[in-house]
């Protein structure tokens, strides 16, 4: 099974950087692992050798920070037992993570992992980056859900970043 392709978008997205490309590739890899049960070592090898920074079937995949890509994918796989309940708590009780579309699950898990483990990246940046990633695959309604869930997780995990006065 091939990773999902970003949907065409009428408005230009912000210029992608190597970390943004790593986030996008990580979400695609996590999606493929979720849908096709592709093993971790196989998905990492496949993306690093055949997708990232290459042209595949006429689509150009952006160069990505390979170490960051691996960190996200490995981190989500290793931390999924902690991440899924964290995301579930932020979702409405009537809509558990297992009912969320696979690509959105991948975005939420990757964003939750980064909020939990990458304290060197501001929470607002993490939330914004994963909303941008979600825009590549889904419509505005779903990206609003991504924003709300990741914002709630960010406020729970990093309350100190939101308690400070701007400036």
pLDDT tens for each residue of 12-52: 333 348 888 899 989 999 999 999 988 999 988 888 776 66
The confidence score (pLDDT) of residue 11 equals 37
Q: What is the mean pLDDT of the chain?
A: 83
All structural domains of the chain: 18-158 (1.10.940.10)
CA atoms within 13 A on the CB side of 50: 11
Predicted model pTM: 0.82
Cα distance between residue 121 and residue 97, in whole Å? 25
Cα distance between residue 25 and residue 47, in whole Å? 8
Give the SS3 label for residue 122. coil
């Amino acid at each position: 099974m091939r990773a999902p392709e970003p949907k065409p978008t009428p408005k230009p997205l912000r210029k992608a950087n190597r970390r943004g490309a790593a986030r996008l590739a990580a979400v695609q890899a996590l999606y493929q692992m979720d849908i096709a049960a592709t093993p971790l070592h196989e998905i990492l090898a496949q993306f690093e050798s055949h997708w990232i920074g290459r042209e595949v079937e006429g689509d150009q995949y952006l160069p990505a920070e390979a170490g960051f890509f691996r960190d996200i994918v490995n981190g989500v796989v290793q931390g999924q037992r902690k991440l899924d309940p964290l995301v579930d708590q932020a979702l409405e009780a009537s809509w558990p993570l297992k009912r969320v579309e696979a690509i959105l699950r991948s975005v939420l898990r990757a964003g939750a992992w980064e909020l939990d483990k990458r304290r060197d990246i501001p929470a607002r940046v993490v939330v914004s980056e994963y909303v941008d990633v979600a825009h590549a695959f889904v419509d505005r309604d779903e990206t609003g859900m991504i924003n709300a869930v990741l914002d709630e997780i960010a406020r729970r995990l990093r309350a100190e970043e939101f308690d400070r006065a701007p400036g």
